[in-house]
Amino acid sequence: MSKARIYMDWNATTPLLAEARDAVLSALDLTGNPSSVHGEGRVARALVESARRNVAVLCGAEPASVIFTSGATEAANLALTPDFRMGRTPLKIGKLYVSAIEHPAVREGGRFAREDVIEVPVTTVGVIDCVALERSLSTHDRQSGLPMVAVMLANNETGIIQPVAEVAAIARAHGGLLVVDAVQAAGRVPLSIEALGADFLIISSHKIGGPKGAGALIARGEVMMPSPLVRGGGQEKGHRSGTENVPALAGFAAAARAAAVDIEGRMAAIAALRDRLEAEMRKGAADVVIHGSDVPRIANTTFFTLPGLKAETGQIAFDLEGVALSAGSACSSGRLGQSHVLTAMGYDPRQGALRISIGERTTQAEIERCAQVFTKVAARRPATGEAA
């Protein structure tokens, strides 16, 4: 009898929590439109506002500053725009400065013209180069508008944590705005939009155990806001029109509640599993390169290269052995292209890397089996050293 498969791709999507599933199913029975004033509508509205409060707690923000979207990509496109308003007064953003390791949803620049998106390099250990950011902002033309900086809190491929508070201080010193992609960090590190110094945070439901199809843009306040991306009936205080996805938001709320509980304790247990796996990997292949292992990372992520084995070949080999992992970002791994993150860090991206990402349901037995599969796959590499 074949062994059960092991899911080790939590950064791509986290398994749906039972409480989130129950919340979705319960909300599916609600009849009312949350914009309707009758009783059925008020019940639906109450659920949406409860979700807003739960997401705000997770992010250390005020509920009124939470804007629900269809996901993190939409939230990024809402935030990344040259057109803002300060109250009723138009506010122009001149350039967008993004780190070279951003998720494609941010790296593409949202609604900015391509020539107005400036890439900021990272160091060889995968951390944004703050000296280079300072240099870029010091030459920013204020006549074009204010600068905006976008940086992720935790990289989706390497798991490396970025110095967001330092970036925020640099952005503030130059009169700029800061947008932080907290998609992979939510539920894995404590979040506070104030402590980070961010003007906006982006999070996603399905990365914390909620359903796919829901996300949020969280603002520090309500005065300075981007122009709407989706216009229509004026839902979400006019920031994002369209009837709210009540069942998805119910599941998002349940996941946010769970993600906010004992983050340090949960992540310590997961880090112990990851460290055990990496120790076994080093035994199984002494030449394995674990990217970011010498800098702060989120607890659940291992991004590694096996010399002589191409990432796509390795991904298939693991899959055939019953282990689901990824070759980089899930949003682009279907194309199996070269990792822009590895390129930014100065590595030859042609061989690529594989990502193992685990979570609360990962067991010690699964870690041991994954290590065995790793050793098996490593042993099959071509003896010539040529990438398979």
Q: Which residues are catalytic?
A: 331
CB atoms within 10 A of CB 218: 28
Cβ–Cβ < 8 Å for 38, 239: no
Rounded (10°) CA dihedral 210, 213, 219, 222: -120
Length of the chain: 388
Structure-token pair, residue 218: 């969280």
Cα distance between residue 182 and residue 105, in whole Å:
13
Question: For residues 298-309, b (16+ Cβ closer than 10 Å) or e, as one string?
Answer: bbbbbbbbbebb
3-class DSSP string for the chain: CCCCCEECECCCCCCCCHHHHHHHHHHHCCCCCCCCCCHHHHHHHHHHHHHHHHHHHHHCCCHHHEEEECCHHHHHHHHCCCEEEECCEEEEEEEEEEECCCCHHHHCCCCCCHHHEEEECECCCCCECHHHHHHHHHCCCHHHCEEEEEEECECCCCCEECCHHHHHHHHHHCCCEEEEECCCCECCECCCHHHHCCCEEEEEHHHCCCCCCCEEEEECCCCEEECCCCCCCCCHHHCCCCCCCHHHHHHHHHHHHHHCCCHHHHHHHHHHHHHHHHHHHHHHCCCCEEECCCCCECCCEEEEECCCCCHHHHHHHHHHCCEECECCCCCCHHHCCCCHHHHHCCCCCCCCCEEEECCCCCCHHHHHHHHHHHHHHHHCCCCCCCCC
